Each structure stands twice: as structure tokens, then as C-alpha cells.
Amino acid sequence: MKTLRKPIYFVSGEYTVSLGSGRPEFHPKKPRPGLEHYVAEAGKAVLAGLPGPEVIDEGVIGNFMAERFNRQGHLGAFLSLVHDDLRHRPSIRVEGACASGGLAVATAVKNVLSEQADAVLAIGVEVQNTVKAVYGADILAGAGHYAGERKAGHAHFFPDRFSQRAGAYKERFGAERTWEAMGRWYEQAVLNARLNPKAQEHANRLPDPFAAHQQMTPNPRSFCEHINLLDCSKVSDGAAAILVTSEEGLARCGIARQDAIELVGLGHAVGDLTAPPDDPTVLDTTRVATRRAMEMAGITVSEIGVFEIHDCFTITAILSCEALGLCGHGEGADYVAAGHTRRDGATPMNTGGGLVGYGHPTGASGVRMVVDIWRQLTGKAGDFQVEVPSDRPYGLTISMGGNDKSVVSCVFRRG
């Protein structure tokens, strides 16, 4: 079993508002910030917690589809927008669909492990509200096998992929219990987002989010057969950033270990992009990546006190509970419906809203998850802070790209 050859720490995380429908300041016909703004905002927020730009050796920027959404490539060269003194520092852009942020984190870790750097700034960014939703759905279809799937695929390609997973789960394990669990996950996401001022659903004041979800029957003529719009993560603009360091880098930053989290497990797995899922009710790549991360950490899922999972759709959350081994195959719906994943449940998940509640700027989500785990494990989560039990002191993230085709999972503990 591979292990980390030296300690790796994460410090000074931050993210922007997730801007899009639901935010009171969002208006589709008014000018909005671009990629440059978000890279600078997230990066400068990290820099505010550091002695200065001189502590940063390198940068990694995660992004999925800026070439299509913004007609902009070459994002690695945006690093100096954080501070002019970062000009000429090494910096690259990485991509892996919606796991691009997770890959930015993994790449930053490997750069530190290579001993070519002691402090790497990992940034994730996406600006998606540049086109109408149906055109955006076509752009995001690039996370699947475009040549093999897109032509005959649904207009809302990825919602339909996960609608099919939901339909298969309903048929095998019961439609009513599955639909209830999907509604409970939406309710949880909204309630958590209300505690996070930067969440896209922060201003959502539905008196009963669960009832609103249950009453919105899926309509295949206008959307998808087995999910509704509330089951989907939002079209979002935003960025997240965090500093990845060695022990030497941590000392250079002058940050105490209790204000850092240590990476103890890293799992990365990819599936066959050209092939459909062997079983649509199973996230097999997620299962492999999370097990690798936990095995490297030398722990089991029962020792994890807080989770940030990739809930691109409500059904994905149900399947992720099973992939993690928190419950058996077919038991995920009951696990969620019973409240185990709520902030006061046995395994709190997505405490600041997750992708459904906070929003899903695709290239940023994997970094944002790590920021929220850093906040939880260091007691910096504010109104959405949960108590992480002393006998379950670990946090775990799942950053997933495509239809469970690229997954990065990390396990952390307080430094």
C-alpha cells in the first residue's frame, strides 16, 4: 500500500460566493465577474492569511470548460492575478471534468511530495452563467464520451444520466423510499446553505423544502423522467483556493499546526469514459477511490466524523453513502431519509450546503470541499460548524468527474 512519504498540510482556505440563480444579486442580463475576478478573489483571500506572496512556490488551477464557457484557455498563467510577485512562479492548469478541483488538490500534493515546492496554491474556478442552460448542458456533456453518447443523448445530458441512475434505483429498491430520500437530501442542502452566507441557496426561504421537492413530480416532457430541477446542483460561477504545504512550508507561513489539517489518505481512480456503468445503482469508481484513501490513512469509514461528498444530484448522495460503506447496497435511501447525514446526524455531510446548496462551479467544487473540511476540523466553520467527535477525528472528501469516471478522495485530520 502506497503511503505519503512526508507530512502534507492544508492551510488558509477560502472561497467566493457561488453566483447564479437563487442569489439575490444575480441577474442574467447584467454584467457579472469573469474568471480573472474569481481567481484573484479566492487567491487573495488565501494570501490574506499568509505572511506574503513570497511563501508561495507554485500554483495549480483547476478548471473544466473555460474554453467553451468563456473562450479562455491557458489558465495557469492567471496566477499573478493573485499578486504581481507571483509572476514567473511555476503554475499549471489541470482538468478532469467536475473533478478538476480535486485534481488541482492532488496535483498540488504531488508537487510538494516531489520536493520541488514547499507551498503550492491550489485554486479551482468556473464561470458557467455565460450561456443559456440548454447550451450549458451541451458544454457539460463533454464530461462524458461525446462521440459515443452525446448525439443520441438527452438535451439535458448529465441530468438525464443521473435520472437514469435514479430510475434504476427506484425500480430495484422502491420508488417511494428513493423519492423520499432524494427530497430529504434537498431539504438538508437548503437548511445547511441557509447557514452559509456564500451559498447559492443561502436566501432560499421555502417554508418546507422537503414538501416542495416531493410535490414537483418529474416531467420527462420538460426535463427528465426520474428527477426534478430541485434534485440538481446549480449552474454557478465561483472559485475556491487553499495552500498545500510541507512541514517546511508550514513553518515558513508561521501557521500553528492546530490551524492546519494534515492529509493522511489520497485516492484517485478513473473508469472507462467510453463505457456505460456496469450497474447504474453503483458508483464503482467512487468506491475504489474512497477505499484507497481510507486504506492509505489506515482507517475505516467508522472513524470519519465529517464528510464533503459530490452531490451533483440528490441520487448521487444516496449512492455515495453506499460507495463509502456507510450502508449496504440498496440501503442508501433509508440511510439518508433517517437523517444520518444531517448536521446533527451520525455522519454529517456537506455542512455548508454541498453542490446542491452551496452551488457547483465545476472546476472549483473539489477545492471548495477541502476548504470546508479544513474549516470543520479547525473549528472555523462559523454558523455551520459541527462537533467532530474525538473518536472520529477525520474528514473525507469526494470529488467526482463525469458519470463516476474520475474520482479524487482525500482523508484529513487536524494538524
* Residue 2 forms part of a structural domain: no
From first to last of its 415 residues, the chain has per-residue pLDDT tens of: 578 989 999 999 999 999 999 999 999 999 999 999 999 999 999 999 999 999 999 999 999 999 999 999 999 999 999 999 999 999 999 999 999 999 999 999 999 999 999 999 999 999 999 999 889 999 999 999 999 998 888 999 999 999 999 999 999 999 999 999 999 999 999 999 999 999 999 999 999 999 999 999 999 999 999 999 999 999 999 999 999 999 999 999 999 999 999 999 999 999 999 999 999 999 999 999 999 999 999 999 999 999 999 999 999 999 999 999 999 999 999 999 999 999 999 999 999 999 999 999 999 999 999 999 999 999 999 999 999 999 999 999 999 999 999 999 999 999 8
- Which of 243, 259, 275 marks a domain boundary? 259
Residue 145 and residue 195 in one domain: yes
**What pLDDT is attached to residue 1?**
56
**What pLDDT is attached to residue 389?**
96
Residue 270 and residue 252 in one domain: no
**CA-to-CA distance for 374 and 100, rounded, in angstroms?**
19
* Residue 410 forms part of a structural domain: yes
Beta bridge partners of 292: none
Closest by CA position to 218, among listed 151, 282, 131, 314: 314
* Residue 384 forms part of a structural domain: yes
Residue 63 and residue 205 in one domain: no
Whole domain around residue 154: which residue ranges?
133-234+263-414
- C-beta separation of 243 from 50 below 8 A: yes
Taking phi first (over 0 means left), then psi (-120 to 50 degrees means alpha), and beta for anything else, what does residue 325 get? left
Question: φ and ψ at 330, to 5 degrees?
Answer: 90, -5
Residue 336 burial (CB count, 10 A):
29
Grid coordinates representing 3 are 503511503
**What pLDDT is attached to residue 134?**
87
Grid coordinates representing 138 are 451541451
- Could you give the number of structural domains in the chain? 2
* Residue 325 forms part of a structural domain: yes
* Residue 3 forms part of a structural domain: no
**CA-to-CA distance for 200 and 100, rounded, in angstroms?**
20
Residue 15 and residue 151 in one domain: no
* Residue 270 forms part of a structural domain: yes
Residue 192 and residue 285 in one domain: yes
**CA-to-CA distance for 222 and 270, rounded, in angstroms?**
33
Beta bridge partners of 59: 91, 121
**CA-to-CA distance for 61 and 46, rounded, in angstroms?**
14
Residue 163 and residue 68 in one domain: no
Residue 30 and residue 138 in one domain: no
**CA-to-CA distance for 217 and 387, rounded, in angstroms?**
36
* Residue 83 forms part of a structural domain: yes
**CA-to-CA distance for 237 and 358, rounded, in angstroms?**
11
**CA-to-CA distance for 167 and 188, rounded, in angstroms?**
22
Question: φ and ψ at 66, to 5 degrees?
Answer: -60, -30
**What pLDDT is attached to residue 323?**
98
Residue 31 and residue 89 in one domain: yes
**CA-to-CA distance for 133 and 140, rounded, in angstroms?**
10
CATH no. for residue 126?
A: 3.40.47.10
**CA-to-CA distance for 154 and 150, rounded, in angstroms?**
8
**What pLDDT is attached to residue 258?**
94
**CA-to-CA distance for 247 and 255, rounded, in angstroms?**
10
Residue 230 and residue 351 in one domain: yes
Grid coordinates representing 136 are 450549458
**What pLDDT is attached to residue 152?**
82
**CA-to-CA distance for 225 and 166, rounded, in angstroms?**
9
Residue 277 and residue 146 in one domain: yes
SS (H, E, C) the chain: CCCCCCCEEEEEEEECCCECCCCCCCCCCCCCCCHHHHHHHHHHHHHCCCCCHHHCCEEEEECCCHHHHCCCCCHHHHHHHCCHHHCCCCEEEECECECHHHHHHHHHHHHHHCCCCCEEEEEEEEECCCCCHHHHHHHHHHHCCHHHHHCCCCCCHHHHHHHHHHHHHHHHHCHHHHHHHHHHHHHHHHHHHCCCCCCCCCCCCCCCHHHHHHHCCCCCCCCCCCCCHHHECCECEEEEEEEEECHHHHHHHCCCHHHCEEEEEEEEEECCCCCCCCCCCCCHHHHHHHHHHHHHHCCCHHHEEEEECCCCEHHHHHHHHHHCCCCCCCCHHHHHHCCCCCCCCCCCECCCCHHHHCCECCCCHHHHHHHHHHHHHHCCCHHHCCCCCCCCCEEEEEEEECCCCEEEEEEEEEC
Residue 167 and residue 282 in one domain: yes
* Residue 378 forms part of a structural domain: yes
Name the amino acid, one letter, at 11: V
- Which of 205, 224, 259 marks a domain boundary? 259
CA 330 to chain centre: 24
Residue 248 and residue 285 in one domain: no
